[in-house]
C-alpha cells in the first residue's frame, strides 16, 4: 500500500466532509423550504461519499499498521483506524481538503457558487478515476458518487444562472461571490506530491472544468475573472483560520467523550 494513495483518498474524503459540514449550516435556514431540503440532501450525499472514502483509507492504514505491530509491538497496543478516527481525531494540519470548501457560507449565492465550482471539478475528476484509474475500489466509489455529483452540478449550475441573470441585487451578490471564491480555484489543478499515484490527467481536467464553468457564467451574464492570485496549501495541511473553528465544532463530542457512539 502506498502512503501516497492513502493521502490522496484522505484528500478526497476531507474535501467532501468539510464541504458537507459547511452546507449543513444551512439546514433549517434555506431561502425556501424546497431549497433547504435540496442543500440538506446534497450535504448527506457528501457525507456519504466521505464515509466510503474514509472507510477505504482506514482499511489501507490498518493493513500496514498490523504488519508494523507484528514486527515491533507498540507500547499502547494497536489501535485500528476507522472512519470516525480519521474524521474526528485528526488536527487541521493533518486535513488535506481544498481551501475552497472551508470558506464561510456568507450568503446563499456564495454557497451555491462554491458548490458549483467544487462539484464541477469533482465530476471531471471522478470520471477519470472511474474510467482510467487502476485502483478498483476507488473506481467503484467514483462510479457510485457520480450519480449524485451529476445532480449537484446541474442543481448548483441552474442556481448560478438564476441568480446571475436575475435581479440587480442577486447579480451583485454573485459577482461578489466570484470575487471571494475564485482565488481558491487554482488549487484544484495544482497537483500535490501524493496525487502522482492517482493517475489523474490534470492537463485534461482543468480545460474541461473551465469550459463548463465559463459556459454557465456566460449564460448567467457573469464574468470569468482574469489574472487572479491563487491561494494554495490546503492539500498539504496549511489552511485558513476557518478550518480550526469548523473542526472544533465537528470534533467536540468525540474529543470530549472519547469512543462515544450513538
146-160 pLDDT per residue, tens = 999 999 999 999 999
**Dihedral angle over CA of 101, 218, 126, 24, nearest 10:** 30
- Give me the residues of the chain with pLDDT under 50, please: 69-78
Mean pLDDT of the chain, nearest integer:
91
Domain architecture of the chain: domains with CATH: 3-256 (1.20.1260.10)
pLDDT tens by residue, 159-218: 999 999 999 999 999 999 999 999 999 999 999 999 988 888 989 999 999 999 999 999
Q: Tell me the torsion sign for CA atoms 100, 84, 39, 148.
A: positive
Q: Establish how many alpha carbons lie within 13 A of residue 259's alpha carbon, considering only the half-sphere containing its beta carbon.
A: 2
Distance (Å, rounded) from C-alpha 214 to C-alpha 233? 25
Query: What is the structure's pLDDT at 68?
Result: 54
Distance (Å, rounded) from C-alpha 200 to C-alpha 212? 19
Amino acid at each position: 500500500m502506498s502512503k501516497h494513495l492513502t493521502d490522496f483518498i484522505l484528500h478526497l474524503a476531507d474535501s467532501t466532509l468539510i464541504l458537507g459540514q459547511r452546507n449543513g449550516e444551512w439546514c433549517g435556514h434555506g431561502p425556501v423550504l424546497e431549497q433547504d431540503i435540496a442543500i440538506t440532501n446534497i450535504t448527506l450525499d457528501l457525507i456519504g461519499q466521505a464515509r466510503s472514502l474514509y472507510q477505504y483509507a482506514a482499511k489501507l492504514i490498518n493493513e500496514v499498521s498490523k504488519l508494523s505491530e507484528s514486527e515491533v509491538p507498540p507500547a499502547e497496543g494497536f489501535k485500528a483506524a476507522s472512519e470516525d478516527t480519521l474524521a474526528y481525531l485528526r488536527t487541521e494540519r493533518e486535513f488535506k481538503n481544498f481551501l475552497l470548501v472551508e470558506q464561510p457560507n456568507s450568503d446563499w449565492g456564495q454557497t451555491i457558487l462554491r458548490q458549483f465550482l467544487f462539484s464541477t471539478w469533482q465530476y471531471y475528476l471522478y470520471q477519470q478515476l472511474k474510467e482510467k484509474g487502476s485502483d478498483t475500489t476507488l473506481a467503484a466509489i467514483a462510479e457510485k458518487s457520480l450519480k449524485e455529483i451529476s445532480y449537484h452540478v446541474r442543481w448548483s449550475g441552474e442556481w448560478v444562472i438564476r441568480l446571475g441573470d436575475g435581479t440587480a441585487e442577486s447579480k451583485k451578490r454573485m459577482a461578489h461571490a466570484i470575487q471571494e471564491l475564485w482565488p481558491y480555484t487554482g488549487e484544484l489543478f495544482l497537483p500535490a506530491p501524493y496525487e502522482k499515484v492517482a493517475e489523474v490527467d490534470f492537463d485534461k481536467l482543468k480545460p474541461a472544468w473551465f469550459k463548463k464553468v465559463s459556459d454557465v457564467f456566460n449564460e448567467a451574464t457573469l464574468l470569468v475573472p482574469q489574472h487572479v492570485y491563487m491561494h494554495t496549501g490546503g492539500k498539504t495541511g496549511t489552511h485558513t483560520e476557518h478550518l480550526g473553528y469548523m473542526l472544533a465544532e465537528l470534533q467536540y463530542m468525540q474529543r470530549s467523550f472519547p469512543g462515544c457512539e450513538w
